[in-house]
Amino acid sequence: MTTNQTSKIMNDLNRNKSLAPTEPLTLTEEWDKTFPKSDKVDHKKVEFVNRYGVTLVADMYTPKGATGKLAAIAISGPFGAVKEQASGLYAQQLAEKGFLTIAFDPSFTGESGGMPRRVASPDINTEDFCAAVDFLVTQPNVDSAKVGVLGICGFGGFALSAAANDTRIKATVASTMYDMCRVTANGYFDRNDNADARYAYKEKMCAQRTEDYVSGRYMRDGGVVDPLPADAPEFVKRYFDYYKTPRGFHPRSGNSTDGWNITSFLPFINFTLLDRIGEIRNAVMILHGEKAHSLYFGEDAFKRLQGDNKELLIVADADHTDLYDNLEKIPFDRIATFFNNRMK
């Protein structure tokens, strides 16, 4: 191929303004969720593409017999989970309360597309929520003025990040949230918030980058620790109880299996996620368990929010993973009321 031919091909590519096409994906047909199927909603799988060309796969839940344009909610999380776990449960429950909902697998995970697999990114995972909003606001049975997002665990932080950037999001719920940039850069409870600790962590991950490049394979972090050490912290035991037992195990979930690519966490050290959430003008609810180890993330995020349309709801006697799937403790009626009142 001549230099002129190569140049023409590159010029043609750079003039292409099209959205990326959907990737050819093979999707599971059977019901393989960690929760029973409701007879009060209709369910189907849908696909949409984000700005980075990754095809996202979601389960759409619609109230059975619904007519007209509905308020809609895009849901994802926890961090390292798939849509067949907690996000799907939230989506189905809120569809029973009248919303059109989607629970989506983030980029590079679950049934969604993208290569390499099991990569996390503060930018791309924020974009995943905005791509879900792209999809929802263009559906004929959705009221485009009534679209919200709900993020669980680490995706609670990404949902807030999306709401700070996307004015189409009319209401946001962050449930049992993490700030993934803060916990990666500072360690749990900010115990490693110093340059030496961060440098040592970066050295370890950069060495892993070299090893990955040489081997041609990404080393994974192992997911939730298994077997569970006798001296594991209580919150790690709670994660084990959810991800590694029939209660919440799913074979496509990184937390249930071999986890994220180790080097995924490098960008989380350098980037901050929640710097602009004080500029969110639309409504926000921070939902957290009273006994959750992660409560400080939610409380500190709430302190940054401005305006009288912001709520902090602390659930009595609930830990972090209670708000994944405990129907006795997740306040779905309060969540539904919040979205109904704030997306008018």
Over range 148-158, report the average pLDDT.
98
Counted residue by residue, the chain has a size of: 344
DSSP SS3 for 252: coil
**Closest by CA position to 315, among listed 342, 291, 343, 284:** 291
pLDDT of residue 339 exceeding 90: yes
- How many CA atoms, within 13 angstroms, populate the side-chain half-sphere of residue 207? 6
Percent of the chain at pLDDT > 70 equals 98
Q: Does some domain include residue 186?
A: no
The whole-angstrom separation of Cα 295 and Cα 158 is 16
Q: Does some domain include residue 205?
A: no
Q: Does some domain include residue 329?
A: yes
What's the distance, CA 83 to chain centroid? 9
Q: Does some domain include residue 133?
A: yes
pLDDT of residue 66 exceeding 80: yes
Structure tokens at 80: 């390292």
Q: How confident is the model at residue 249 (pLDDT cuts 50, 70, 90)?
A: very high
pLDDT of residue 10 exceeding 70: no
Q: Does some domain include residue 194?
A: no
Domain count across the chain: 1
- Residues β-bridged to residue 150: 75, 173
Element (H, E) at 132: helix 122-137
Q: Does some domain include residue 312?
A: yes
- Range of the structural domain that residue 91 is part of: 29-179+273-342
The CATH number of whichever domain residue 319 belongs to comes to 3.40.50.1820
Q: Does some domain include residue 304?
A: yes
Dihedral pair phi/psi, residue 184, rounded to 5°:
-70, -45
The whole-angstrom separation of Cα 286 and Cα 51 is 28
Maximum pairwise Cα distance, the chain: 70
For residue 25, the model assigns a pLDDT of 96
The whole-angstrom separation of Cα 43 and Cα 83 is 13
The whole-angstrom separation of Cα 277 and Cα 162 is 9
Burial of 314 (0-12, 13-18, 19+ CB in 10 A): middle
Structure tokens at 195: 């340059």
Dihedral pair phi/psi, residue 48, rounded to 5°:
-155, 165
Structure tokens at 124: 């791309």
Q: How far separated are the first and last CA of the chain, in Å rounded?
A: 59
pLDDT of residue 6 exceeding 70: no
Cβ neighbours for 328, distance < 8 A, ≥ 6 positions apart:
none
For residue 201, the model assigns a pLDDT of 97
Q: Does some domain include residue 123?
A: yes
Tens-digit pLDDT profile for residues 12-58:
778 887 888 899 999 998 999 999 999 999 999 999 999 999 999 99
Strands 171-175 and 142-152, sheet pairing: parallel
- Under 8 Å between Cβ of 286 and 177: yes
- Under 8 Å between Cβ of 91 and 61: yes
For residue 158, the model assigns a pLDDT of 98
Q: How confident is the model at residue 156 (pLDDT cuts 50, 70, 90)?
A: very high
The whole-angstrom separation of Cα 238 and Cα 266 is 26
Structure tokens at 299: 């409380």
